[in-house]
Structure 1
Amino acid sequence: MMKKLLSILFLTFLSFHNIFAQQPDLVVIPDDPALSIRKPGEIYHGQSFVYNIGNAVANPSILKYYLSTNMTFDSSDILLGQDYTLGISPGQDSEDGAYLVIPPVKGGMYYMLYFTDADGVVSESNENNNIAAVSFEIQTPDLVAFETSVGIGTVSPGQSKNINYKIKNVGNIAIGPSTAKIYLSTNGSLSSDDVLIGTKTTSSLGINQIEIITNLSIVIPSSTSIGNYFILIEADANNDITEYNENNNIDSTLSSFFVDVLGEPDLTADPFNISITSLCNSCSFSLGTLGNKRHIISKDASSLSFQQIIIDNNGTATSGNAKINFYLSVDGVLDTASDFKFPTSVGISIIQPGSSAQASYTLFNTDFADFSFGNYFLIMKIDGDNQVSESNENNNIFNIPITYQQSNIVNKPLLNGLKNSLVGEPYNLYIYNFNGKFVDKVLVKDVNSENEVLKNLPEAIYILNSINGSRKVFFKR
């Protein structure tokens, strides 16, 4: 109150010197001389007093508020608001105010210009004292996406691509987390027909801090048509942050990549190339020749081992990374909701078209500790998590009949088998190479004829499986 009284006395003194001019003279004094720090989007209540230091009544006028980079008004200054000033008698004042929104501008030092009689409707004795300026700082974040890139090479719908990008806060204030969106585009410019293929949270960033994203795996939608595409990154895609520049949030890859709609992988396995051992001595080494036998695992110390699983890619495109999952089922029909999934999976690396990968897996008696004794089916599913979009999704599942029993003492019918072979009853001999890959199936009548078969094979180590059991032989001419 004392401040206002002193200002009135001072202005009254000044008006005394203009007593003979018979003209009003308006000046403005901001009521908040220190705006301090502001942010875009904040609401500021601008308050001021307009004094008439002239010697004539001032007609009503308009007080306008401008945002400026200096203390001098020009046409580039930003109008933030205005207030109506009533007529003012000599030596009197009018208290004015308006609610002003700080606009999205680049961070830095600014001035709030209080411009009384901004439209020049009052003829004054001094037209050069109508503006007062108050300095303050605007703190503004500004996110920029840049250096977006994608791995080279053709990709098929449903497959993944690794992308890289950077997001930097070029503003003058730290910011919290935001959301970046990833689009598939045909022309490198974001439009309504571009396809959203991923989102990722951008961490909090300090001033000039950069978040670097490398090898982010993004799946190309299975509905994508053949053609060339770009990857777009949009920083602050949900507009969580009020930025100085909202037009620098999008970045595109410099070059496109090709999507071939015709190429798809197809992961499967040949049962003859799935080699299993267990307590069952009469069971074939190969799943393809297991027949009606059941592999055995007991509560006592024992295991069921997939010595070799050869996974083939019979498709026309490279497969991505995948897993082999194993389930325990009572009926041999996979139901992921009710069948027990063993916690350990087997990873499958990328497989080129026409190529194979090899894996192995072992289940121990402790893995069955929570189950009742009896007959089950062990189900093996290639690409168990459906990570790879394949041309054939119906050849990934394989059933292995098993028996879980109390003791590891089992019947051994090998003597009967050997007896049959000695009297000349024909039986099948299955031949595998040293890595367990199926080589041939031959009808033989005894052990001697088994050895004769080897003479037609190249020198190597072989695994022979028949009713006489399994044996490893080294054949040399």
Structure 2
Amino acid sequence: MWGSELTGNVQPDAADDSRMNDYFGSRVPGSPDGSTENYCHDLAEGGFGDWRMPTDSELRAVVGSTLAATYFGFDIADTFWSSSTWDAPPTTAFGIHLVGGGNSFNQKTALQRVVCVRTPDTLAAPDLVVTAFAAPTLAVTRQSLSFTWTITNAGTQDAPATWWEDVFLSRDRYYSSDDIWLMDELHSTSLSPGASYTTTKSATLRGVPAGEWYLLIQTDSTNVVLERNDGNNTGSAFAFTVTNPDLTPTAFTAPSVAANQGTVSLSWTVTNAGTGAALANWFDSVYLSTDATYGSGDTEVAYRMHTSDLAPGASTIVTATPRLPAVPAGDYYLILRSDSVGQLYESNETNNEWTALPIRIAGP
């Protein structure tokens, strides 16, 4: 596959003979997790620790030449992964055939060869590095988050415009394709050696389970800048805790008898049993049903839009006096549902409904 995070290359892969920088297969020796990406950035080989995956342009430069066979030292009649990814979808990356020169975007789960390369110390090139990253340490889903980061060109040449920067939400400290994308930012000016710039942007936290996460920032996230070291494009992981609301009805009262098209007095209480605030806006709805189970054919007779946040452990009481629709006389049910249109991401989505209350509607 596209590879896994390396913790060091102690032993060669079974398909590598005595070589340690060519991997083929779905796992890499010493892989600490199931990550699906590999920039070779932790490889220790030949006294160097700045190994990386080549860009597609670097691979193209040796297609069909003797350089690939001479310096890579293995069968090149195969497709090799590049570090160049694609944004739509981000689960694909460029593969280059080193003999025929053919190229294609493939799913990163596909089996292709990986070669680790490094930039010579004497090469004059830019080197974009994340030198600072600040973000909240705690947030609830749907909350707006503010991120601030600083990028420095630690190389010896200008970084030519333009490149992208991305912020991800991850379950671990390492970037992988299953991380959740939060936002991106296009940097559209060149950056001189030694120069820096700082960016502040906001993004909304998506619906994810509560718990411990990490925020990751990547500069040159699509690998368009030829750098001395691509392995330092991801900043240090920022520990981050996510909380979720959990709305549940805790009381509901309604009359047991009503006139056809008559008004009824309703009252209900909704409590936030979650660990995070329920951020406005969301809706509660009361439906008239012919049975005790909510269905899409039930008729909404009352609703309330909540325009204020509801803190964890807090409750809100709602009263309403809706007019019932014209229906045949008979036995019906009133069904209360909190977050009735599913605007909130909750820790428990199964407790939004109160037990249906029977109501007999008299004839005209």
Q: TM-score, normalised by structure 1?
A: 0.39
1 or 2 for the larger relative contact order (CA 8 Å, sep ≥6)? 2
- Between structure 1 and structure 2, the one with the greater Rg is 1
The structure with the largest strand share of the pair is 1
